[in-house]
Structure 1
Amino acid sequence: MDGKPAPAADGVPAQQQAQSAGPYRPGYELVAEQILQLIAELGLRPGDRMPTENELASRLSTSRTVVREAVKILSAIGRVRAQKGRGLYVADDEGMLGSSRWGSFFLPTDLDHVYTLFEFRRVQETAASRLAATRATPAELRAIEAAADTCREGHLTGQRELFDRGDDDFHISIAAASHNPFLVASVREARRLQHQSNIIGLHGGIGGHAEEAVAEHAAIHQAIRTGDAEAAAHAATVHLDKTLEDYRREIQRRVFG
């Protein structure tokens, strides 16, 4: 006996499952989160080689099959790179907000990290909306409106992917209308990190904020279209604060019970 807890049927230690009193989460999702924590604990940087799948399975007291599924998730969201015949590496294309520049790894289900991310988004998108209200061209206004319409259609038809695409396009279009390339880059990167919380912690969807988000988008667009910079900034702040509250509620419900 090596003293390690015995894996449950899905490859996750029974003790670990017992400690998680919240709703059921797939074993590979829990292990994906643990791998991110392990990377941070080991102080690995972008481009560094990671432990092998077998080593990860041993460290995390789970099966190699579960590790492999977790690695697939982390590869899909750009946190891990698997090189055939060479092993696993910390992804080195994390961009402006990645570990090498941000100073620490973003843990998608860590509420403190989510709060910090939204605090940053609040600053950048409030500024972007204020600038867009004074700088947006007719073509940029049409792009913002089209993105808002796509988001609304996705909500009304129940097409989550369409809603998400419209949501991304809406926020990035506003950043583009600010005519500040640094804001465009930062908005894009912050949304990429937020998407990681959505995938790992929220199973690809958030709670009941979609209907409100559509109305909030309309308020932001209207303020930008009429050139009211302060109203645009205020509407963006309201939207982000409500979105953060939805993320907080959903992460606590799904992860902590």
Structure 2
Amino acid sequence: MPGEHAVPSWEAGKPAAPYRPGYELVAEQLLSYIVEQNLMPGDRLPTEQGLAQILGATRNVTREAIKILAAIGRLTVRRGAGIFVASSPGALDDDRLAHFKPTSMEHVMMLIDYRYLIESDTAGKAATLATPVEVQAIRGSAAESLAAGAAGDVQEFAATDESFHDHVGAAAHNVFLRSSVTNIRRLMSQTDLLLFHGDVPGSLEAAGRQHVAIAEAIASGNGEKATELMQAHIDTTRHQVERRIRDRLFNLATPGATSTAPHRARAHGQEQPPEVSAS
């Protein structure tokens, strides 16, 4: 009938949805399926073919989605046994972490809120408890992160960034805080890989300078200053991630990143996932 498929007036003029690889869309659908079915760590999923039918995707794209989710630690694939929901990362397992959605803006913002509380407290405690050896390690990793950021070396920066935050966590002399910092970073890495494809939001050099400032506050024993600087550091990350997610969701990023192909065609394409770093 004429007008049966007409676009509603409120939809007219909206920018086309940004192009997204099929495996990424199916990975999101699979994470949602885990939540909807209330599956917990250790629970077994349907077979690859069964998941493809449930998600309405091709088997090849479903296989790539499973591979990427296994690579970021959300699924475990055991040859001859099947596909399972992976255990939550870190020493303080919580079954609810199995339902973290690394491509959900709401979940990512909640994680950053938690990081704000945990890491700012950790920095404050490190300033009052760090030994000379620990201060040296914090300063060294901060300087290395600044050098890597200034050189634009993403992989080296990622390694030194992890080292810096781990050294600060260790200097707080609280196993629970340090474990929480580790868990947060592991979950954030899932977002970096699945949503940003390993890219990093914002300036690496600016982040390196913030690391150095935090290190100096810790070295001086100024817990209040260290806390404030870490809070500012996390706030910077929050703003950068919000901008990147909104760019991706609302197609405000680089021109030419859109596709006029139907949504279902994108979801069922044969794109390959990004390379997965071992770090």
In structure 2, the gaps of 5 or more residues are 1-13, 252-279
Distance 1:141 1:231, change over 3 A: same
1:206 corresponds in structure 2 to 200
CA contact (8 A) 1:224 1:232 kept: yes
Question: Within 5 A, what are the aligned runs for 1:1-257?
Answer: 21-95=16-90, 99-102=94-97, 105-257=99-251
**Aligned pairs, how many?**
238
2-side partners of 1:107 and 1:176: how far apart?
A: 28
Q: Does the Cα contact within 8 Å between 2:139 and 2:216 map onto a contact in 1?
A: no
Can you list the C-alpha shifts for 1:127-177, whole angstroms capped at 9, x where unaligned?
111011111111111111121122122222222111111111111110100
One-letter code aligned to 1:169: S
Question: TM-score, structure 2 length as denominator?
Answer: 0.81
Q: Give the corresponding residue for 1:5.
A: none
Shift of 1:116: 0.9
**1:45 and 1:90 in contact (8 A); partners too:** yes
* CA gap 1:71/1:53 in 2 versus in 1, 3 angstroms: same
Structure 2 distance, partners of 1:180, 1:20, is: 49
CA shift digits 1:85-132 (9 cap, x unpaired): 121000124335655155x61101111111111111111111111011
Pairwise CA distance, 1:241: 0.6
* Superposed displacement of residue 31, structure 1: 1.2
Question: Structure 1 vs Structure 2: percent identity of aligned residues?
Answer: 42
Structure 1: 5+ residue runs without aligned partners? 1-18
1:22–1:170 distance in 2 versus 1, CA, 3 Å: farther
Structure having the higher helix fraction is: 1
Distance 1:137 1:238 in 2: 24
SS in 2 for 1:43: coil
Q: C-alpha distance in 1, partners of 2:68/2:177?
A: 28
Q: Relative CO higher for 1 or 2, CA cutoff 8 Å, sep ≥ 6?
A: 2
Q: Secondary structure at the match of 1:31?
A: helix
Structure ID, larger Rg: 2
